[in-house]
Amino acid sequence: MDTAQKILVTYGTLSLGYGFALGIPMSQARMRSPEASRHLVIAHLSAIIQGAVHLGLSVALGLSQLTPWLESASALLLTTGSALFVAGATANWLQGAGDHFAERSLGWKLLSASSVGHITGIILVIAGVVIGL
């Protein structure tokens, strides 16, 4: 397993753990009310989904023919984007944000910043996999 794959596996595992841990406050909220904060639900689900995605991308990078530093850069971009996304959803939940677009909350800023890492990182992975096929 190369460095890029290790980055993705490590982040994927940590993301799953964080997502599962967010299940605790979500369950507590649901015991008091028929619904939980949508920002908490987004943070919980996105951490779990992104964890699985990063584990899958670690396998995809095994097919890549990019230079190792580009593969590592793509992994770092993807994990940074994902961490910003989950941090944004978590910040919105903790701050009790309503419409984070209208409020331009800290969470909204983190969520917005996440797209740079996600888009750039996935373009590199796609290019590496296509070249490798």
Give the tens place of pLDDT for each residue, 74-85.
999 999 999 999
Residue 72's domain comprises 3-132
Give the count of domains, the chain.
1
- C-alpha distances (whole Å) from 31 to each of 21, 37, 47, 92, 97 are 16, 13, 22, 21, 21
How far is the C-alpha of 57 from the C-alpha of 28, rounded, in Å? Answer: 33
pLDDT, tens digit (0-9, with 9 covering 90-100), for 77-126: 999 999 999 999 999 999 988 888 888 899 999 999 999 999 999 999 99
Taking a C-beta distance cutoff of 8 angstroms, is the pair 86, 117 a contact?
A: no
CA dist., res. 33 & res. 53, Å (int): 31
C-alpha to C-alpha distance for 23 and 124, rounded to whole angstroms: 33
Query: In the chain, what is the straight-line distance between the N-terminal and C-terminal CA atoms, in Å?
Result: 19
Q: What is the CATH number of the domain that holds 28?
A: 1.20.120
pLDDT in tens, 12-53: 999 999 999 999 999 999 889 888 899 999 999 999 999 999
Q: What's the pTM? A: 0.91
What's 36's DSSP letter?
-
